[in-house]
Structure 1
C-alpha cells in the first residue's frame, strides 16, 4: 500500500500547505507513489487559500500549490499512514484528539532529520517563508528516505 501523509500546522495556510506542495513535488521528482494532504489543528481558516507569501515562495521555487484550508478530523488518524506535525504544540494537539483506533504514525516532521520544529512564519516577513521552504525540502527528502527507502533517491 502506498503511503499517505497529512502535513499539519495550526491554521493550514502557511507551513502545512507549503509542506504538502513541497512533499508532493519532491515525491514526484523521485518517482514515489504517495498521497499527500494538509490540515490545521485549528479551524480558523477553513476554506481559505494559502497565505500569499506561501504561494509566492512555492512559485519562486517552481513548486505547484493548490489548496483550500481544512481542519484535522478524527477520521484522518485512520485515513492516513503518517501524520506529520510542524511543531511540538501541534503534535500535542494531535495526540489530544487522536482516537483509540488510530493507525497513523503521528510524529514531528523534523524528527525524520534533525528533530527541529518548523517555526510559524505568519507574523514575520518573506524570509521566514523561505526558511520554511528550505526545511520542507530537507524534511521531505528525509521522510521519503525513511518511509519509502533510499533506493528511490537514485531515480
Structure 2
C-alpha cells in the first residue's frame, strides 16, 4: 500500500504542476483581456492539489521517512518538517486564492488567482524532493 501511494503521490505532482501552470497562464491572459467570467481550470487545479494533499497526509502518517527522533538527519528533517510545512502553506495559498477570486468582481478575480497560485507554485517547486537534490526521491 505504501509503495502504491508513494507512486501516486509522485506521479500526481506533475498533474498538479501542469494544472497550476495552466491556471496561472489562463489567469494572466484573462486578466490582461479584462475578462470577467470565472474559469473552471482554477477549480480543477484546486481539486488536484487537495487530492495530492490527502495522499500526502496518509503518506506522512505511514512513511518510514518521517522520524521525529532523527530530525538532525537532512533526509528525515526534509520529509518530517520542510516538505510538509511548505506544501501545507502552498495548498493554503491556493485555497485562499480560489476563495478570494470567487468573491472578487470582474477582472480582479483573475489577478487574485494569478498572485496566489504563482506564490504557491514557487513554494511547491522548492518543496518537491527532486532527484537532483539528493533526497532519495526519484522522478516517479
Q: Choose between structure 1 and 2: higher strand proportion.
A: 1
Q: Which of the two has greater helix per residue?
A: 2
The TM tier, using the shorter chain, reads 0.3 to 0.5
Q: TM-score, normalised by structure 1?
A: 0.32
Q: Decide which structure has the larger Cα Rg and report it.
A: 2
TM-score calculated relative to the size of structure 2:
0.35
